[in-house]
């Protein structure tokens, strides 16, 4: 069924009622020669930190959703905006050509935003849907989601690669967030300029963003953008260059991820629009690309994670001065 435009956007804050937005009018019968519009679920539940760009405020679409509506008009996509994890099931996922995540934390718990969580069966339904041919994409904190063994709450484990023991979602996505440093301008090297959306980026570009330090990359990753971490400021980036944007296959499905997407000005940047829309077009099979695994060749040091920051020793309490004998202000009697 083709979704229709909902306006005005009342009750947006009620996550149990997902929004389906169609930038095109549904009042005119579709031309049989016009390609069917693609349906994309933009899922933004925050069981961990909720980013401002995906926050619903005053009954209005989030900043990111407004930009996606513009991309939908350009590319012929209809978006469903939702924070309701309880809907995930094989039947629900059949409604979409692609699923795009901007999420945080363990989505099977109500968490920070207190929106309906996924069930474990719903999480498995997503993984199975992708492996059976679904298109999955993630931006920014999609990698800060379903941390292995809930290690987001732990110390040194956060800096360790788990490989085959990583959470199934982490293995699906192709990487996991460790932490980020201060927002800064950083260089990204374009590894595959022929990939959809990368054609106009040149050999490299610089962008001011909140850049993630990532880990647990599988061997089958096709790196698209490489983070120039040695030139960055902060202990989080004391490591060799590593992937910041990539593509991979999972069974019959396709997966795309970019760590960009924190800042509002990034969401309005044509560079980010090109990267995100190109990844979605490839994932949905609308744009061909060679995604032969290349991580071992272009990022051989990607598995060298930054050092775990040594905890600072607790400050010792300042000793109280000894009382002065016969001091009238002292509360202690003189010996």
pLDDT at 47 over 60: yes
pLDDT at 20 over 50: yes
Supply the pLDDT for residue 318. 73
Distance of CA 320 to the CA centre of its chain: 50
The answer to which of 50-59, 270-279, 285-294 has the lowest mean pLDDT is 50-59
Q: Rounded distance, CA 281 to CA 182, Å? A: 32
Q: Which residue has the higher pLDDT, 158 or 3?
A: 158
Supply the pLDDT for residue 326. 65
So what CATH class is 19-298?
alpha beta
Over the stretch 177-210, which tens digit does the pLDDT of each residue have?
Answer: 999 999 999 999 999 999 999 999 999 999 999 9
Map residue 63 onto helix, strand or coil. Answer: helix
Torsion of CA 207, 208, 211, 217, to 10 degrees: 0
Supply the pLDDT for residue 185. 97
Q: What is the mean predicted confidence (pLDDT) over 298-319? A: 84
Q: Say if residue 292 is exposed, middle or buried (CB neighbours under 10 Å; 0-12, 13-18, 19+).
A: exposed
Over the stretch 215-226, which tens digit does the pLDDT of each residue have?
Answer: 999 999 999 999
Supply the pLDDT for residue 33. 63
């Amino acid at each position: 069924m083709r979704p229709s435009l909902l306006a005005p956007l009342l009750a947006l804050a009620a996550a149990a009622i997902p929004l389906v937005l169609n930038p095109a009018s549904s009042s005119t019968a579709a031309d049989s020669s016009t390609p069917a519009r693609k349906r994309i679920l933009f899922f933004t539940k925050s069981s961990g930190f909720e980013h401002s760009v995906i926050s619903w405020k005053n009954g209005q679409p989030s900043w990111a959703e407004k930009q996606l509506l513009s991309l939908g008009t350009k590319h012929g996509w209809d978006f469903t905006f939702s924070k309701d994890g309880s809907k995930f099931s094989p039947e629900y996922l059949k409604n979409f050509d692609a699923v795009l995540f901007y999420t945080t934390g363990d989505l099977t718990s109500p968490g920070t935003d207190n929106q309906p969580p996924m069930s474990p069966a719903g999480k498995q339904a997503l993984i199975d849907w992708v492996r059976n041919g679904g298109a999955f994409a993630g931006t920014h904190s999609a990698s800060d989601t379903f941390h292995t063994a809930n290690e987001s709450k732990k110390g040194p484990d956060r800096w360790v690669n788990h490989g085959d023991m990583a959470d199934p979602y982490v293995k699906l996505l192709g990487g996991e967030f460790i932490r980020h440093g201060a927002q800064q301008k950083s260089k990204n090297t374009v590894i595959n300029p022929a990939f959809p959306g990368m054609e106009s980026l040149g050999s490299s570009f610089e962008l001011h963003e909140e850049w993630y330090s990532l880990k647990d990359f599988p061997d089958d990753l096709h790196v698209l953008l490489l983070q120039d971490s040695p030139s960055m400021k902060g202990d989080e980036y004391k490591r060799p260059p590593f992937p910041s944007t990539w593509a991979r296959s999972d069974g019959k499905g396709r997966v795309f991820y970019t760590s960009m997407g924190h800042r509002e000005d990034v969401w309005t940047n044509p560079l980010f629009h090109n990267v995100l829309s190109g990844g979605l077009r490839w994932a949905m099979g609308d744009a061909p690309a060679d995604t032969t695994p290349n991580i071992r060749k272009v990022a051989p040091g990607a598995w060298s994670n930054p050092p775990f920051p040594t905890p600072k020793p607790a400050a010792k309490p300042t000793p109280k001065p000894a009382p002065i004998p016969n001091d009238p202000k002292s509360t202690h009697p003189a010996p």
